[in-house]
Structure 1
Amino acid sequence: MGHFITSKDIPADGEHIEKGKLSRPIMVCGVVALIGLIASVCLLFIGNDVHNEAADTVAGRYAYSWLFAFAFFVSLPLGSAFWLLLHHVSNSGWGISVRRLMENLACVFPWLGILAIPFLFPQVQQHLFEWMNIHRGFEGVGLYGSAKEALHNSHDAHDHLLYQKYFYMNLPFWLGRMIGYFVILGACLFYLRKLSVAQDNDPQPGIARLKTARRRTSWMLPIFAITATFLAFDLLKALDYKWFSTMYGVYFFAGCALNGMALLILTTICLRRAGYMQKIMSPEHHHIMGKLTFAFVVFWAYVSFSQYFLIWYANITEETSYFLLRNTGNWNIANIALVFGHFALPFLFLIRSDVKKKPGLMIPITIYLFVLHALDHYIIVAPERGPSLTHGNSLFSGGSVVWLDLLAFVTVGAFFAFVFLRSLTKFSLYPHRDPRIIESANLYN
């Protein structure tokens, strides 16, 4: 930044990306997503009989691939939503320059609800969620045809455990929650972006909308916390309904926040290298975002270790089963790689102040964090595939699943990129009529 930025340096209409510049990437992402979605529907539903129990079939294997890819990509807009809400509720000034990018990234979340639709169908549920199969197996068995009563009277201890959890783990409530997560939080995020864009279009913007956003994010933050926590419970933790963990929600949140900020860093670097946002961003912004990334690298490690340590120390069967499975066979190698790769290496790099300010170094670091975040989610989902589909007879499912995992990952990723890139062309890249944009542009950290 060569001089003090004034209002004369900021375009009156902000900075916009011409649609033509992104038309080809948007088209490619859209075509890839469409082809992948068609292939995914065929793999998940064609020839998949809802009346048969979960089996080690292509449909069963791909259900886990789809869940892995969905969980990874849904964590990114959730992380962006956290930073957006925190920005408003804390009334911070530095983040004005990147707030529109936070909004666009966060607003991908409700669109990802489309990709969650397969989880609402029994043909997919039967492979992923054992507790749903048990519920459906008990329907019509009880005195009044009640699955809850049948679970209560069952002689199986695990069935009785499901009875104790019935207030939460029942099919109608689960379906309602899944729809509510994307509708309610999505409405909040769209509303915040609407306020922000309306301020850009107002010749006398003032601070009324800023006060409204700050006031309303105070109750949107609890909505976010509930959504992130229970979405992780319903899709990931519920893969093994017998498992207990009191820290799973914050564990999932830590990964969301870390990689949401990493994605924001990568996006701003790419835009600045393309010639955008030159006046309203500086190395000081990257320094702050790098420090927040570093903080959540440490926080993720703290939460991960705490969860493992508490479960190891208590040594309760319903808790240790999760780590016993993931410390068996080749999964142990992946776990060790996660311990050192997700914490030690990023810690050593990001602890340096100069690294955080250098885009050339932050690009590989953020990409590296995404790879380790994907490994983290893969270890959460994939180890359940073999024991579940083979009914406990094998640690791994049969056949090659790598191409299934790649297909799901590319499909969901292309859909994510399609939605996000389209949003970049619709609005200014930053809220140019926010009264504090000058403060943010002249940030000194």
Structure 2
Amino acid sequence: MMMMTPPRRPDASILGPALACAVLGGSGALLGWLLDPADFAGAWLGALLLWIMWSLGSMALLLTHALTGGRWGHALRPALRDAVAALPLLLPPLLVPLLLNLSPLYRWARPEAGAEAGAALRNGLWLNAPFFSARVVAYALLWSVLSAMIVRRLRAGASVASFAGPMLFVLAVSFTLAMFDLAMSLEDFTSGIYGMLCAADAAILALSVATASSPERIGGAVRDDLGRLLLALTVLWAYLAFCQLLVVWQSNLASDAGWYLRRLTPFWTGMGVALAVLRFAVPFFVLIWPAARRRARVLRGICVLTAATTVLHVWWLVLPALGRRPDGLDAACLLAFGGVTALAWLYYRPPAHPTRAGGGA
């Protein structure tokens, strides 16, 4: 699929922590799978969605920069490229636990409730286990091909602008359908805004992780560009979340209203308020101030905050549908994903190609 560089000697300073995260997180996830498959399935799905958002959000930023240009993209290119390069290597094996645990997650996938769930969701022809599994595999193959094309061109020092436009269109359609399948179909809920909301999550997560992990490449002018871009994405995310709530409120349909009612318990209401404050209000009022977004520590702190709140938002989307709260199993799955990704980087990270520095045009 993708031309991977041969294994190389890993950085010993990173190998230990990465291996510890992979072993501890993987052991916890495996134990959870054996003891409570239903809880494991929800925890694994949440971690998988975050990982996909990070990789595909990085891909979207690379393609967008190829079309628009700008200093910010040159500064973040190595971090974004590494996130894209990890996708075809890790996505297929990471999908296996999900495909083996469809019944605990999706009521339409349970044989004893198949007819009832199909009628409730009005989409029994679309939501059935064989067709769902085939679509998920097709998404993985498509994204792996896109990743291979992008990484191969970047490793050769070539531009991806010639096919960035069509790639962005294909990526947007496939990502939206995947979010409908993997996340929205957990409940009897329909929203045309759901895919765009997840796309905003993906862009914020990818931009935040790349910015926080590239301090040596980011000068003062580039920090200002990145701060403005993160501010715009934050406002877009808040706007889409409000629009979805407004549409559901005005339509007043029992199935759609139930989606929000399940998130109005004291715990999830508190998390919703935390998201409104930490995901929107704090970044907005900090990044709108030019002097603040030009400070390296301030921008890095906001990036860490927005990345962390993306985790909370994905849990807010997934876990109420399963009737559970975040627990140690969710943390173990996130730890496993992080450790395995770090190990893949250490052994197969593509060699850096010279790019313009953070203050360049």
Identify whether the pair has TM-score above 0.5, normalized to the shorter chain.
Answer: yes
**What is residue 60 of structure 1 aligned with on the other side?**
38
- The one of 189, 193, 200 aligned to 2:151: 193
- The one of 241, 264, 288 aligned to 2:225: 288
- The one of 45, 48, 57 aligned to 1:79: 57
**What is residue 220 of structure 1 aligned with on the other side?**
167
CA distance in 1 between counterparts of 2:335 and 2:207 reads 22
Q: Tell me, yes or no, if the aligned pair for 2:51 and 2:337 is still in contact at 8 Å.
A: yes
Q: Tell me, yes or no, if the aligned pair for 2:80 and 2:210 is still in contact at 8 Å.
A: yes
Per the alignment, do residues 327 and 87 of structure 1 end up closer, same or farther by CA in structure 2, a change over 3 Å counting? Answer: same
Matched, 1:442 2:322: no
Q: Tell me, yes or no, if the aligned pair for 2:29 and 2:329 is still in contact at 8 Å.
A: no
Counting aligned pairs with the same residue, the percent is 21
CA distance in 2 between counterparts of 1:130 and 1:77 reads 28
Matched, 1:89 2:36: no
Matched, 1:419 2:356: no
Matched, 1:119 2:37: no
| Amino acid in structure 2 at the alignment position of 1:405 | D
**What is residue 19 of structure 2 aligned with on the other side?**
30
Unaligned runs of 5+ in 2: 1-7
**Equivalent runs, 1:43-442 vs 2, <5 Å:** 43-44=32-33, 46=34, 58-92=36-70, 95-110=73-88, 111-121=90-100, 124-133=101-110, 136-137=111-112, 151=115, 159-162=118-121, 164-199=122-157, 209-210=158-159, 213-240=160-187, 242-269=188-215, 272=216, 277=217, 281-386=218-323, 396=324, 402-422=327-347, 424=349, 426-428=350-352, 431-432=353-354, 437=356, 441-442=359-360
**What is residue 3 of structure 1 aligned with on the other side?**
none
Structure number with higher helix proportion = 2
1:189-245 C-alpha deviation (Å, 9 max, x unpaired): 22211112123xxxxxxxxx42xx2122222112211232122112111111x2111
Displaced runs of 4+ in structure 1, greater than 6 A? none
Per the alignment, do residues 94 and 296 of structure 1 end up closer, same or farther by CA in structure 2, a change over 3 Å counting? Answer: closer
Q: Give aligned pairs, total.
A: 353
Q: Tell me, yes or no, if the aligned pair for 2:278 and 2:305 is still in contact at 8 Å.
A: no
| Amino acid in structure 2 at the alignment position of 1:32 | C
Per the alignment, do residues 94 and 236 of structure 1 end up closer, same or farther by CA in structure 2, a change over 3 Å counting? Answer: closer
**What is residue 4 of structure 2 aligned with on the other side?**
none
3-state SS of 1:326 partner = coil
1:147-191 C-alpha deviation (Å, 9 max, x unpaired): 7xxx4xxxx5x54244x4133212222111111222211221222
Cα deviation for residue 25 of structure 1 reads: 1.1
Per the alignment, do residues 181 and 314 of structure 1 end up closer, same or farther by CA in structure 2, a change over 3 Å counting? Answer: same
Give the CA RMSD over aligned residues: 2.4
Cα deviation for residue 252 of structure 1 reads: 0.3
1:422-445 C-alpha deviation (Å, 9 max, x unpaired): 455x412xx32x6xx38x7433xx
CA distance in 2 between counterparts of 1:307 and 1:58 reads 33
| Amino acid in structure 1 at the alignment position of 2:341 | F
CA distance in 2 between counterparts of 1:28 and 1:442 reads 34
Per the alignment, do residues 358 and 421 of structure 1 end up closer, same or farther by CA in structure 2, a change over 3 Å counting? Answer: farther
CA distance in 2 between counterparts of 1:296 and 1:94 reads 15
Per the alignment, do residues 93 and 347 of structure 1 end up closer, same or farther by CA in structure 2, a change over 3 Å counting? Answer: closer
CA distance in 1 between counterparts of 2:79 and 2:262 reads 39
Q: Tell me, yes or no, if the aligned pair for 2:204 and 2:307 is still in contact at 8 Å.
A: no
Per the alignment, do residues 34 and 181 of structure 1 end up closer, same or farther by CA in structure 2, a change over 3 Å counting? Answer: farther
1:240-295 C-alpha deviation (Å, 9 max, x unpaired): 1x2111110001001111111111110111xx1xxxx4xxx522122111111110
1:110-156 C-alpha deviation (Å, 9 max, x unpaired): 323322211111xx2121110100xx337xxxxxxxx7xxx4xxxx5
Per the alignment, do residues 167 and 90 of structure 1 end up closer, same or farther by CA in structure 2, a change over 3 Å counting? Answer: farther
CA distance in 2 between counterparts of 1:92 and 1:358 reads 20
CA distance in 1 between counterparts of 2:345 and 2:247 reads 39
3-state SS of 2:262 partner = helix
Per the alignment, do residues 413 and 21 of structure 1 end up closer, same or farther by CA in structure 2, a change over 3 Å counting? Answer: closer
Q: Tell me, yes or no, if the aligned pair for 1:73 and 1:416 is still in contact at 8 Å.
A: no
Larger radius of gyration: 1
Per the alignment, do residues 357 and 422 of structure 1 end up closer, same or farther by CA in structure 2, a change over 3 Å counting? Answer: farther
Cα deviation for residue 38 of structure 1 reads: 4.5
Cα deviation for residue 43 of structure 1 reads: 3.0
3-state SS of 2:190 partner = coil
Unaligned runs of 5+ in 1: 1-18, 47-56, 139-146, 200-208, 387-395
| Amino acid in structure 2 at the alignment position of 1:195 | R
Cα deviation for residue 358 of structure 1 reads: 1.4
**What is residue 8 of structure 1 aligned with on the other side?**
none
| Amino acid in structure 2 at the alignment position of 1:231 | A
Q: Tell me, yes or no, if the aligned pair for 1:112 and 1:416 is still in contact at 8 Å.
A: no
CA distance in 1 between counterparts of 2:291 and 2:341 reads 32
**TM-score after normalising by structure 1:** 0.73
Per the alignment, do residues 350 and 92 of structure 1 end up closer, same or farther by CA in structure 2, a change over 3 Å counting? Answer: closer
**What is residue 3 of structure 2 aligned with on the other side?**
none
